[in-house]
Amino acid sequence: MIRTLDDLRTRLGEIRGADRPTDRPRVALVSTLGALHDGHVDLIREARERADIVVVSTFVNPLRFRTADETAAYPRSPEADARVLDELGVDVVFAPSAAEFLPAGTATTRVSAGDVGLRYEGRVRPFYFDGVLTVEAKLFHLIAPDVVVYGERDPQRIFLVRRMVRDLDFAVEVVSVPTVRTEDGLPISSRVALLDEADRRAAAKLPRALEAAASNADMGVDACIAAAQSSLMGEQRISLEYLSVVDPATFLPVDEGHHGRALALIAATVGGHRFIDNAEISLR
């Protein structure tokens, strides 16, 4: 368990072995906010398959939140996390305090997510992806992973990280892992357990809406969106924030003439909790 930047550099230097540059171990990073669940476990297992050394960060990034109160309210379970990480044989856990990782209280120099970072999730939280990319870039700089593993529950994040890696020439492979879901189809997250029974039934309609979109993909993008909206009609517990179909190569909305692979994105609030989901569809 490592909590300071200097100790992290020292330990990774020992692991890599400065005198063994030709056969240095391959390092994978799984970047989390802690409060680990089965989705994180899948990411860590994938990281283990792809690398000799697995580093997991459990830093609650304050740059992702509007206020200090929101940051403080984020669920934390350090003891349970430590047990999970130990059982999985994680080699290094990086768990710095905010004061250690962001000593000025924020980051004056930030990575900009650009126009795409202000769409979808960024439209709801315009600061969010700049905060995500800034901390990810800092982790890449400190840890120098060969591979970093993310879950496909948040494809916008993956798109933006891949673009940052390309634009800033980070020598890291970005790997995505399919979303782990509950029995009723919801992506596993810490929010699912907070729903009461009625809200849980309502939230389960969100992945059904994506299935409706996929089922109507052969009729074009407008039909996809209409089918998804229709499947949610009358569900008063769901407050829909956005429902879009995007080109995965640009993460911009597709037009009616788009053919081939696309991503249907959905975000909604249920029982006071936000949920995001997505599904790959094929437009004809």
Does the annotation place 266 within a ligand binding site?
no
Residues tagged active-site: 40
Query: Is 157 within any annotated ligand binding site?
Result: no
Q: Tokens for 49?
A: 């398959």
Query: Is 15 part of any known ligand binding site?
Result: no
Q: Any known ligand binding at 188? A: yes
CA-to-CA dists, residue 64 to 59, 131, 134, angstroms: 11, 5, 10
Question: 191 a known binding residue?
Answer: yes
- Beta bridge pairs of residue 55: 29, 92
Vertex 268 angle, CA 263 and 272, to 5°? 155
| DSSP calls for the chain | -B-SHHHHHHHHHHHH-TT-TTSPPPEEEEEE-S---HHHHHHHHHHHHH-SEEEEEE---GGGSSSHHHHHHS---HHHHHHHHHHTT-SEEE---HHHHSTTSS-SS----TTGGGSTHHHH-TTHHHHHHHHHHHHHHHH--SEEEEETT-HHHHHHHHHHHHHHT---EEEEEPPPB-TTSPBP-TTGGG--HHHHHHHTHHHHHHHHHHHTGGG-HHHHHHHHHHHTTT-TTEEEEEEEEEETTTTEE--TT--EEEEEEEEEEETTEEEEEEEEEEE-
Q: Is 196 annotated as contributing to ligand binding?
A: no
Annotated ligand binding at 112? The verdict is: no
- Find out whether 153 is annotated in a ligand binding site: yes
Is 215 annotated as contributing to ligand binding? no
279, 211 contact by CB (below 8 A):
yes
Binding residues: 151-154, 180, 188-191
Binding residues for ATP: 151-154, 180, 188-191
